[in-house]
Chain A
């Protein structure tokens, strides 16, 4: 996490009043862009990342040296075609890839924030990122796109800024975080908090890392991103580099080894406190409540064209929760399309090579762009 000189950062001077009541200013927002902004400045797409994503959407992530998290969907001639569109993505505030977050130093105390960092919400994230539009002098984005927590930001963005996007694509998300999802997030947070090294969030000052806790959090979460069928087909009861059970607690099964690996690589690139803050933001997300129980009111002021996408095997943000968004939009006669993509890759489908999804997303964007 030290090689961060390749990170573009916008320092936001304008004070931002957070939902928790605190105000922040002069804070950094790390971002990346792909493709180029056209003369009319009407080809920009703001992509919002999910819980563990970052601004490095595609190509090689300069920090992790791995493919960007949405390499399947974003790039030249891909669904979000960077030959055509100017793609912007920012690291969310609370995150750990350069944007203002709990691993930053508090200028007042000169100490790392840790859990003294203010609790942020999806609304705060979006309100921070809208500053990028001013920075690039973009009046109206062609589109806002995102999956999972990115989808929640999409919904919040168009609700806060109804005139600032022409098309809106929430993918595999919800308008209100469910009890089940809060439960899974709490499991992850408790795994981190119960790691002795976490030290009430002061681990960076202590030069330790709660990597065991964070890794368990990631393992648990990873299961929720897959489907039972997908897991069964990929791993079944296959054994890991052995012919028989060892009658111990080593990783006998491939699935165990796989999860351990996922946990171990995650701790190298993610900050435990950021994990707490971002999952909290997701849990607090309830656009229905923000509009007094009527989701339709969140979208009343916008004329944007919506396209909602869900996946058959996604049990974390199931089709019905996505469809609730469609229903709220239809109730006010909004322009909304919807498709449930068949895939056995679970919630992660939107990040993977799922041709029906990638083609549909491309078709929607390209057609809307040519008809704009």
Chain B
């Protein structure tokens, strides 16, 4: 399992209600069900992946986060997880607000556009960066709102949500992000993982 998922599993308390938005093939939900005995639900846009989830015995609805989060009442989950897709939404602000309406807490992971490889790519080649975590060309990427770890921290102040925990993933190593190391983490982390609250 991806290190990212292991971190998320660690962040989630046992026997809680969890919604994974964009749950892919259900790997994370399966692990949460098994290791944390959570009441696990998923939303996934791909029909094939929903079918894969069903074959794993997971409760998943086919749907789109921007349209389908609406149907869940306030605070219906303890955690809502959004893995590496915030940057793909037309309006990330609305999505974050919806996540925090539906869930008491949200876990958001973002591919860090501030990573040195991304920066170097643009600086030296002068073309849109292509890296392991951002494999698409500019014209076919689903990522329309890329941001850096620093941007996300700033965003929390702009639209007013609390970051409870922020973790950086660098070469499979996990570390905490704080004000004093933000500059370095933003340069070296491939992924930022944030536990947030209203």
Contact = CB atoms under 8 A, between A and B. Distances in A.
B47 A326 contact: no
B61 interface: yes
B76 interface: yes
Contact of B57 (A330, A342, A356, A367): A367
Interface string A335-349: 111111110000000
A360 interface: yes
Nearest to A364: B54
> Per DSSP, are chain B's interface residues mostly helix, strand or loop, or mixed?
mixed
A338 B61 contact: yes
B71 A331 contact: yes
Contacts of A360: 51, 54-55
Interface string B74-90: 00100000000000000
> Per DSSP, are chain A's interface residues mostly helix, strand or loop, or mixed?
mixed
Contact of B62 (A327, A333, A339, A370): A339
Interface in B15-73: 17, 47, 50-51, 53-63, 71-73
A371 interface: yes
B51 A337 contact: no
A371 B56 CA distance: 11
A336 B61 CA distance: 7
Contact of B61 (A330, A363, A368, A370): A330
A327 B61 CA distance: 10
Contacts of A340: 47, 62
A338 B63 contact: yes
Contacts of B54: 307, 337, 339, 360, 363-364, 367
Nearest to A327: B71
Contacts of B59: 305, 335-337
A338 B47 CA distance: 10
A356 B54 CA distance: 12
A367 to B, nearest CB: 4
Which 4 A-B residue pairs are closest in the complex by CB-CB distance?
A367-B57, A363-B55, A338-B61, A327-B71
26 contacts: A305-B59, A326-B71, A330-B61, A330-B71, A330-B72, A330-B76, A331-B71, A337-B50, A337-B58, A337-B59, A338-B62, A339-B54, A339-B61, A339-B62, A341-B47, A356-B47, A356-B51, A359-B51, A360-B51, A360-B55, A363-B54, A364-B54, A367-B54, A367-B55, A367-B56, A368-B57
